[in-house]
Each structure stands twice: as C-alpha cells, then as structure tokens.
Amino acid sequence: MVDHESRIQKRNKDSIMNAALEIFSMYGFRGATVDLIANACGLSKPNLLYYYQTKEQIHIELLSQLMDSWLAPLREIDENGDPFSEIMGYVSRKLHMSKTLPRESRLFANEIIQGAPRINHVLQNDLKTLVDEKALVIQKWIDEGLIAKVHPHHLIFSIWSLTQHYADFDVQVQAVLVNEDPFENAESYLETLFSKLLTI
Amino acid sequence: MVDHESRIQKRNKDSIMNAALEIFSMYGFRGATVDLIANACGLSKPNLLYYYQTKEQIHIELLSQLMDSWLAPLREIDENGDPFSEIMGYVSRKLHMSKTLPRESRLFANEIIQGAPRINHVLQNDLKTLVDEKALVIQKWIDEGLIAKVHPHHLIFSIWSLTQHYADFDVQVQAVLVNEDPFENAESYLETLFSKLLTI
DNA sequence: CTTTAGTTTTACCAGTTGGTAAAATATAAA
DNA sequence: TTTATATTTTACCAACTGGTAAAACTAAAG
C-alpha cells in the first residue's frame, strides 16, 4: 500500500480524470467547477479533493497526462521514411485523433485560446523543440527536392489547424453539414489539399 | 433624450462592450465575471448593470453586434468575379481580421468550442444559409471548369481554420516562432496553398 | 433657480465557489 | 478479532458570484 495504488485509488483517480476532461474541455479552467467535476464522476467534492488537493492540480495533472499522447503523432514522423507518406500519415493520425478524442482536442484548445497560463512553459520547451526538429526534417526533404518548397513551420501549423478544426469547432461544422459525417469528406479533402501542396 | 442615446450612454456602452470583449474572449462565458468586466472599463458593477441588466445580455449583445462583421468577408464573395481572386480575396480578408481583430476571433472560438449555447440558432440559420449559398457559387465555378474540383463546404472550413488559427492559437504559434512575425509568412504560405489547391 | 430625468454610489443579499476539519465508515493486516 | 489505515461523509467557512434597492449625486430643460 506504500509504493502502489490500491484498486480503489486507481478507479477513483481514473474516474476523476475522465470527469475532469469532460468538464474542463467544455468550460475551460475558470468556467469549470470542482462541484461539476465531482458530480460528473459521482463523488462528493471533499472526496474528490482527497485524491487531488486543488482544482488547479487536477487541471495540470490532466494536461500533462495527455500532452505526450497529443504530441505523439508528430514524433512519429520519420526522417528516413518517404516524405509524402510521412506527412500524409501525420495528417491522417491527427485527423483520427480529432475524430476519436475530441474532448482532448477541446481541452488543449481552451487552454491555448485562454492564453495557456498553465502550459506555456511546455509550449516554449518541449513543443518548440519538437516542432523545430521536425521542421528541419521537412526542410531537408525540400532541399533534397523530394517535396515542394513550403514554409515548414507553417506547414505544421496548417496540419494542426485543419485537423483539429473538426473537433474544436464541431458544433459549427455540424450546423452547416446537417446530415453529413464531416470526417468522411474531410479525409479525402485534406489528402487532396496536402498532396497538391507538396507535389513539386 | 427619448429616441437617441446621450453622449454618456454611448461612451459607457461602448466602453462596456470593449471590456466585455476583452474578458469574454479571454475566459469564455462561464469563466468571465461581471466584476472583471466592470473593473476593465472602470465602472462599478451596479453602474455597469444599469446599462446591461445581466451578464448573459452583455454576452449576447456583444456576439450579435460582431456577428455581421464576422461574416462580412464571406458575404463579399461575388459569383460574377474571377473565382481565383474572389477566393484569395476571402482568404486575405479573413487573415487580416485574425491579425487586427484577434479578440473577436477568440470570442467566437470560445463560444463555439464550448458548444455555442447562445448562438447555435445563428449557426443553424444565418451561417448555414450563407455558407450553403457560397458553396453553390463555388460548385458553379467547379462545374464551369474555372477551379479544381474540391468539396465546397470543406474548402470554406479550411479557410476558416487556417486563418483563424493565427488569432485563436496565437500563444502556441508565438511559442514556436519566437522572433518571427507569424502573419508575414502566413500570408504567402496560404496564398501558395490555395493557389495550388484550386489550380486545375 | 428649480424641477425632472439620468447617472452613480453605497449597502446589501442569497447562492456558489474552492477548500478544510473532523467524525464516521469501510478495508485490510496481524 | 483487533488494530491500524484508507476512504467517505457531514458540517462548515471565507471569498466570490450575479444581481437588487434605494439613496445620493449630476446634468439639462424650463
């Protein structure tokens, strides 16, 4: 009971993180309340605070638990692979994450739109390092004449914005595409877009 | 004094709307407080509530005041103009709005990410109608062989996401591009992207 | 200058917020 | 079964929340 979590602890912590994801992704940090999270996972507020001492701690814990898996698709880009399939694979993985993990996408979107007060340092260190590294790989591919000349950083931004849009702005997309599955046509639209963009 | 606002009324209402934009765009509806808005415009809370009766009224008023100007760039697309310059003009106008009106962009982003509870009907009526109308124009251009075959709705979504990204996710973009003006390269990047996408 | 209407402040309220203390209960080890 | 530990509940608190009432002040019309 000293160096590992009990079954109860694991179950409750997982349940709290799931509820926190639900609430924080819907309302942002300031708009979320501990009571809302507690209700969402069926615990009393003091019981929840027995596992995580403050609202901010829950939020930080949640963000850092998700950060790695959020950046994983970018990490997977292999400089020794085929440039086209590497980039298209990244687009495809990001789009798939928007489809299967929309709450996570909105959690990060809320945090960043609201100024990222709790993950600014992660953006400036881990994220910047990773992006700069992959931008160099893209630049190398350009220099080798394997893909068209595009601004590497903006290429990455455009992949983020285009794929995450379907999760973050889901309500708007759904309002316009009433009886259509957005992701069905998004996949082929983005394939065309990046294919044309990167072809020399 | 009956059918027009006094100078004091106009000054205070404008000042409140400006402060409300500042606060709501930073924290979303639930995260914003009347006190924060009141402090931001140097009025006492009861004084502010003398001009707008509730927090929700301020928010709704703000959103509806901005909605028209927010959709204006799309409205300007002229079906009788040159398809390329019409679409590139739209991209350019949207990007310019992200640069000059980032708070407005984040206000809408916050509202939509959080489920658009207060403007869902606008999305489903005004926005959908306008988008469908312009999608038809784009489809016409495609049918006439003037631009490449792309999914019109997704083309519009991609213009939204790519341009608004620079306002909404500004903190993230700045974290990566530390000493660079994002908009300088964004303009030419997006020009290249849409040019390649739409060329047959 | 006085009256009236418009504006601002002061004092307040009930409900919510993040969080705590301590008692009560459940679990598991000896 | 006893004991120690882990978990949950109850009762609470000070600060903040959206909002109100009414008094005090200001500006403008007659």
What average pLDDT score do residues B170-183 get?
A: 96
pLDDT tens for residues A173-182?
Answer: 999 999 899 9
DSSP symbols for B50-72: HHSSSHHHHHHHHHHHHHHHHHH
Q: Which fold has domain B66-198?
A: Tetracycline Repressor; domain 2 (1.10.357)
Quick one: pLDDT at residue B171?
98
Quick one: pLDDT at residue A4?
65
Residue with tokens 């609201």: A114
What average pLDDT score do residues A116-135 get?
A: 97
Collect all residues with Cβ–Cβ distance below 8 Å to B49 and sequence separation of at least 6. B34
Taking the alpha carbons of B177, B179, B184, B188 in that order, is the dihedral positive or negative?
negative
Q: Cβ contact (<8 Å) for A26 and B169?
A: no
Q: Using a CB-CB distance cutoff of 8 angstroms, which residues of chain A are in contact with residue B29?
A: 31
CA–CA gap between residue B149 and residue B15 (Å, rounded): 47
The reply to whether the CB atom of residue A33 sits less than 7 A from any atom in nucleic acid chain D is no
Q: What letter would DSSP give residue B81?
A: S
Q: What percent of chain A has pLDDT over 70?
A: 98
Query: pLDDT confidence of B7, banded at 50, 70, 90?
Result: confident
CA–CA gap between residue B77 and residue B79 (Å, rounded): 7
Chain D positions with any atom < 7 A from a protein CB: 5-11, 16-22, 28-29
Q: Which residue has the higher pLDDT, A72 or B3?
A: A72
Q: What percent of chain B has pLDDT over 90?
A: 95
Sequence ranges of the domains in chain B: 1-53, 66-198
DSSP symbols for B100-141: H-HHHHHHHHHHHHTT-TTTHHHIIIIIHHHHHHHHHHHHHH
Quick one: pLDDT at residue B98?
98
Query: pLDDT confidence of A158, banded at 50, 70, 90?
Result: very high
A71 near B CB under 8 A = no
CA–CA gap between residue B91 and residue B70 (Å, rounded): 13
pLDDT tens for residues B43-101?
Answer: 999 999 999 999 999 999 999 999 999 999 999 999 999 999 999 999 999 999 999 99
Quick one: pLDDT at residue A5?
76
pLDDT tens for residues B131-171?
Answer: 999 999 999 999 999 999 999 999 999 999 999 999 999 99
Report the CATH number of the A64-198 domain.
1.10.357.10
**Residue ranges of B 15-34 with Cβ closer than 8 A to chain A:** 26-32
- Burial degree of B2 (CB within 10 A; 0-12, 13-18, 19+): exposed
Quick one: pLDDT at residue A1?
36
> Is residue A3 predicted with pLDDT exceeding 50?
no
Asked whether B27 and B113 are in contact (CB, 8 A), the reply is no
pLDDT tens for residues B18-31?
Answer: 999 999 999 999 99
> Is residue A78 predicted with pLDDT exceeding 50?
yes
Q: Residue A156: how many CA atoms within 13 Å on its side-chain side? A: 24
CA distances from B113 to A25, A54, B27 (A): 8, 25, 12
Q: Write down the ipTM of this complex.
A: 0.94
Q: Same topology for domains A1-53 and A64-198, yes or no?
A: no
Q: Cβ contact (<8 Å) for B189 and A150?
A: yes
> Is residue A2 predicted with pLDDT exceeding 70?
no
Q: Which range, of B3-12, B52-61, B107-116, averages the lowest pLDDT?
A: B3-12
pLDDT tens for residues A94-119?
Answer: 999 999 999 999 999 999 999 999 99
> Is residue B2 predicted with pLDDT exceeding 50?
no
> Is residue B3 predicted with pLDDT exceeding 60?
no
Q: Cβ contact (<8 Å) for A161 and B157?
A: no
What average pLDDT score do residues A34-59 get?
A: 98
Facing B171 at nearest CB: one of A116, A150, A158: A116
| Neighbouring C-beta atoms of residue A119, cutoff 10 Å | 21
CA distances from A197 to B44, B181, B183, B197 (A): 54, 23, 19, 7
| Domain B1-53, CATH among 2.40.50.140, 3.40.50.1970, 1.10.10.60, 3.30.530.20 | 1.10.10.60
B129 near A CB under 8 A = no
Q: Cβ contact (<8 Å) for A113 and B168?
A: yes
Quick one: pLDDT at residue B4?
66
Quick one: pLDDT at residue B6?
78
